[in-house]
Structure 1
Amino acid sequence: MTTSTFNLLDEPWIPVRWTPTELSSAVAGRPDRIGLRELLARSPEIAGLAIAEPPAHSALLRILYALTARVTGLDEAGPGDWGVRRADVRDAGELPPQGISDYLATYRHRFFLYDPDGGRPWMQDARLAHECDPDNTAGVNKLIVTRPSGNNHSWFEHTSDAAPGLPTASEAVLNLLVWHYYGPSGRCSSREVNGAKSASAKAGPLRTALSYHPEGETLFETLLAGLVPPKSTVKSAQDQCPWEWHDLPDPDAVPVAPAGPCARLTACSQHALLLVPQEPDGQWVRDAFITWAYRDGRIPRDDSFLIWQVSQQGNRYPRPADSGRALWRDLDALLLKESAGAAQPRRPRVFEYACEVSDYLRVRALGFEQEGQAKDTQFVDASTPPVVEFVERETARTALPVATLRQLGETYGRRLDRAVKRAWAQYVDDAKADAGTWAAQAGARYWPGAEAEFWHRFAQLDRTGADLGAGFDAAAARTAFLRLAMAAYDSVTDSVTRTQRGARAASDARIELYGGPRKKKQEHAGSAPRPVPAHGNDAKADHG
């Protein structure tokens, strides 16, 4: 094999997990990595992707959704009812073999990872070899997002720009996708187009965002559940993926808005990249060009797998990835059409249709906690039990219990945070004292227990619809979360209660767990003031 024959349809580069049934029936086991062709054909035998980096997992899923739409003909609304056609594919138990064969035969020449003759390597721009300085490339340490590059600190591994370890082709392709979807804004390699040099890129379409995906028992179910019906006006000839473009886009032109779901899934990158193979077979990558894709303008940011909410300034933005926030705290925003809160969160559009594929879909959250520019903090990867059957359209009676349960957990988490901060400030006699250590310790004690409590009570909700309240006991749930908050509060403040000053601070601040002191009402003239009760308001004090 040479670099010119390395084709991603056939080369094993995608890590997968096989279903237990497939593993038990295999005589000689199953490969850990496969190519795109085998992945699509054997998706019913694959449990899921085995990609360690969540942003790479999220990015590749979007590529696979687009390919699934193409090979099934679900990339257009017609002919016939789109939902019925998807159900037919589901009932067939596999992606159509003829559809896979026809589509991959048509575009096989666009899935070569390298093109030494300056052609169209997959998801890359061969023009960079001439438009960027070949003596000032980004390098493989910059390409691999878990490596430090330049003067950055080490994160997951120690490497040197002077002697970088060469990544495999599989690792390089997955990180290529991370750059397309999660790449930073700001300074990049200089690129000269039409005589003008620029070195500034815009952030990728998923930068900072948390992505939510319906996940089935097999990859086949996951891919079908991830499809969203196109508008009736969408035509596949205009709704193109990058490997389907007749020509590469003009970097000096304003980028064209996506014409449909396939372009929205795959063609919204603000970065241009080119991999340089290690000869002779391309199994390793020795260098990379990374720069901007468009000098001016920005592709409209939209995605069917994000929770969209509204800022105080009225701007629409996706819910950011937060490695310290458990997935259950987003559950009502995933299942309810309009969940409570000033941010007006709207559930990802994909969940309006996912339940039509299976009643036993989980939710997988994938993301990258990072800033708009260079700073990356942590990966985010979480999964729920099967919950998609509880979407509001299907079981509306569970809507209020799920929302209330989440709100109660959040409410007592906020109260605990206020309580320990107030206790610390009173103990040190400084209202501006930094109580970050106590707050972190309290959160570390409360949130894992709150998550377990949430899922325990969620599992007890009535699925039959016989109970108008879904069998939810709000008072018992409130008591349970309060007890968890009290236990965390006592554990954190215990070290100072051996002194009179510390005991008074802990005692005075405890009222925050009950919502804080009740505000005094305006007294009528001449009437005696009313005593303040021992405990303040409950959930109403937090609007929770």
Structure 2
Amino acid sequence: MDQSMRYDLISEPWVGILRLTDLDGGAYQQGAVGLQRLLAEADQIKTLSFGPPPALSALYRILYALTARVTGLDEAPHGPDEWMDRRLDILESGPDTEAVDTYFAKYRDRFDLFGSRPFLQDPRLPDECPKSAGVNKLVLGRPAGNNTVWWEHHFDGDPLPLPTAEAVGHLLMWNYYGPSGRCATRTVGKTSEANSSAGPLRSSLSYHPEGDTLWMSLLAGLTPPESHVRRGDDLCPWEEDDLPDPTVLVGSYAGPSSRLTGGWQHALLLVPDASHRFVIDAYITWGRRGKMPSTRDPYVIWQISQEGNPYPRPADSGRALWRDVDALLLKDPSGSTRIEPPAVFSTAADLEGADQLRVRALGFEQDGKTKDVQFVEASTPPLLGLMEHRRPEVARSIGDLRTAGVTYGQRLATAVKRAWATINDSKMADCAWSEHAAASYWPAAEEVFWRRLRAEDFDEAWTEFRRLAERTFDQVTAGYTTTSRGARAVEHARLDLYGGRRQKKSATAPDGRRPIATPSAD
């Protein structure tokens, strides 16, 4: 094939990076590299600068699988302790460029975005789908079909080509975060359907450990495979000899590599222009009939329903990252919801230099079907050295700190809603005062949280959050206390800042004290 007609993800500079130029001073410069240089030079790269947050989240999972392959950490026949010892040696020795070159030489044709076996795509779609979906459908955020134009002026009659490097990010987002429901018709044998299940990460928020170099971040993001896993069985899609039969339901995954790069429900095919520098069309349809099994992704917080079913904590653009910190550090954080922390942190915290590991949260606020709301991204200061199994007292204190901040935030919301409802003779619900209070309290509470965490100052934290809630309540209600009716309503509602009115005598606790109602601090 004419090399000018390829888009080789191994060598094309499509992944944005921040490269370290001064290993001691921390200076860096922006650039872009292909996969081969990215892995071979990962100890010289500060971090990735790629696509929207969900595209980066998806790319991380691809890179974890590749890192495991080129380091031999895709197998742990002697158990997790030996695996972690090998990982430490690999961290100190740096990337093995020969292993990187050997791996990509073996699968070079599989990383051509527009080849006969295009990367993460299905070349059979033009024969199985009556028509393409259009490039606007590929780009999450562009209006497509009969949808209304809101943020950008794109029209199916005159679609703008998409730079190929950007198209890779949208391909990844479709595979991991794609919607359920109606899609293009695809006919495979006697099966003709036009619907799909949602991608494995849809609506979720994932948490990734990040160190001072990309090399440390990638190694910290690996989890040890079970001792029975063998790389010849635990294959990524580009390593399979044949394309999958989309009508056959997968029962399970062979190991971490197939879980990281599997679970996809959609099938896509990108259509380039003559130069292969732009994508001008795309096929998008179902990739599997029936729901794929859960990947039990190790980068999400798993919440357990009352029926005992685990589900990923949803991404919420209105929820600051500090409110999830104790769910990352503790095995059993306080709150009404049962939690399983991301599995990756239990082994990341045992890596040398873990005290400097930060957490980067990446996700996509969506509903479970088709509605996309907002990308979500946030980072913490160095955090993983404070995990419960390393510093249990500090981790528990951080949990108490988070609980205090959230409790008073929830009490404040109840108080201002009650005051507003009483003054306006309405039912308690979200209102102008609750929005004003939230906009004032939560950013200030976040500052208190991180300041106290950095200083490891957990004394009297409840008092500081209570004072913050009191000041916010007074600011929001200040203009309505000049009348006796307004003042009575405000002062009556103020009791909610302290847990509400005392319970009836029949609710007296066994020790004779009357309990104060406390809202859930999830």
Query: Same fold, TM exceeding 0.5?
Result: yes
Partners of 1:217 and 1:157 in 2: how far apart? 37
Partners of 2:51 and 2:151 in 1: how far apart? 12
Residue 20 of structure 1: how far off its partner (Å): 5.0
1:311 is the counterpart of 2:305 = yes
Q: CA 1:47–1:305 in structure 2 vs 1: closer, same or farther (change >3 Å)? A: same
1:441 is the counterpart of 2:436 = yes
> What SS does structure 1 have at the residue aligned with 2:107?
helix
Q: CA 1:520–1:196 in structure 2 vs 1: closer, same or farther (change >3 Å)? A: closer
Say how many residue pairs are matched. 513
Residue 138 of structure 1: how far off its partner (Å): 1.2
Show the counterpart of 1:396.
392
Q: CA 1:106–1:23 in structure 2 vs 1: closer, same or farther (change >3 Å)? A: farther
Q: CA 1:383–1:437 in structure 2 vs 1: closer, same or farther (change >3 Å)? A: same
1:68 is the counterpart of 2:67 = yes
Residue 137 of structure 1: how far off its partner (Å): 1.3
Residue pairs, 1:193-204, within 5 angstroms: 193-204=188-199
Show the counterpart of 1:542.
519
Q: Does the aligned pair in 2 maintain the 1:368–1:379 contact within 8 Å?
A: yes
Residue pairs, 1:122-521, within 5 angstroms: 122-133=119-130, 136-154=131-149, 156-279=151-274, 281-357=275-351, 358=353, 359-430=355-426, 432=427, 434-461=429-456, 472-473=458-459, 476-521=460-505
Partners of 1:24 and 1:543 in 2: how far apart? 45
Partners of 1:24 and 1:361 in 2: how far apart? 18
Partners of 1:194 and 1:237 in 2: how far apart? 30
Partners of 2:371 and 2:39 in 1: how far apart? 35
Partners of 1:151 and 1:491 in 2: how far apart? 46
Q: Does the aligned pair in 2 maintain the 1:211–1:366 contact within 8 Å?
A: yes
Q: CA 1:153–1:219 in structure 2 vs 1: closer, same or farther (change >3 Å)? A: farther
- Cα distance per residue 1:432-452 (max 9 Å; x no partner): 254432211111110001101
Q: Does the aligned pair in 2 maintain the 1:412–1:481 contact within 8 Å?
A: yes
Residue 30 of structure 1: how far off its partner (Å): 5.9
- Cα distance per residue 1:99-149 (max 9 Å; x no partner): 11111111111100102xxx310000000011011xx31111111112121
- Cα distance per residue 1:371-418 (max 9 Å; x no partner): 111101111100000000001111111132011001001100110010
Residue 3 of structure 1: how far off its partner (Å): 6.1
Show the counterpart of 1:527.
none
Partners of 2:292 and 2:400 in 1: how far apart? 39
Show the counterpart of 1:49.
48
Query: Which residue identity lines up with residue 16 of structure 2 in the other structure?
Result: P
Partners of 1:383 and 1:25 in 2: how far apart? 18
> What SS does structure 1 have at the residue aligned with 2:349?
helix
Q: Does the aligned pair in 1 maintain the 2:206–2:362 contact within 8 Å?
A: yes
Partners of 1:448 and 1:44 in 2: how far apart? 35
Query: Which residue identity lines up with residue 414 of structure 2 in the other structure?
Result: R
Residue 25 of structure 1: how far off its partner (Å): 11
> What SS does structure 2 have at the residue aligned with 1:32?
strand
Q: CA 1:520–1:17 in structure 2 vs 1: closer, same or farther (change >3 Å)? A: same
Residue 457 of structure 1: how far off its partner (Å): 1.1
Q: Does the aligned pair in 2 maintain the 1:3–1:277 contact within 8 Å?
A: no
- Cα distance per residue 1:31-87 (max 9 Å; x no partner): 622110111111111111112410001000000000000000000003681011100
Q: Does the aligned pair in 2 maintain the 1:3–1:114 contact within 8 Å?
A: no
Residue 233 of structure 1: how far off its partner (Å): 0.7
> What SS does structure 1 have at the residue aligned with 2:364?
strand
Residue 315 of structure 1: how far off its partner (Å): 2.0
Query: Which residue identity lines up with residue 37 of structure 1 in the other structure?
Result: Q
Query: Which residue identity lines up with residue 453 of structure 2 in the other structure?
Result: F
Partners of 2:507 and 2:281 in 1: how far apart? 76
Q: CA 1:315–1:2 in structure 2 vs 1: closer, same or farther (change >3 Å)? A: same
Percent identical: 49
Residue 301 of structure 1: how far off its partner (Å): 3.7
TM normalised by structure 2 equals 0.94
- Cα distance per residue 1:435-486 (max 9 Å; x no partner): 432211111110001101011111122xxxxxxxxx631xx21110011111
Partners of 2:3 and 2:280 in 1: how far apart? 15
Partners of 2:149 and 2:32 in 1: how far apart? 28
> What SS does structure 2 have at the residue aligned with 1:541?
coil
Query: Which residue identity lines up with residue 195 of structure 1 in the other structure?
Result: K
Q: CA 1:208–1:426 in structure 2 vs 1: closer, same or farther (change >3 Å)? A: same
Q: CA 1:106–1:276 in structure 2 vs 1: closer, same or farther (change >3 Å)? A: same
Partners of 2:38 and 2:341 in 1: how far apart? 29
TM normalised by structure 1 equals 0.90
Partners of 1:173 and 1:346 in 2: how far apart? 32
Stretches of structure 1 that go unaligned for 5 or more consecutive residues are 462-470, 525-529
Show the counterpart of 1:465.
none
Q: Does the aligned pair in 1 maintain the 2:129–2:186 contact within 8 Å?
A: yes
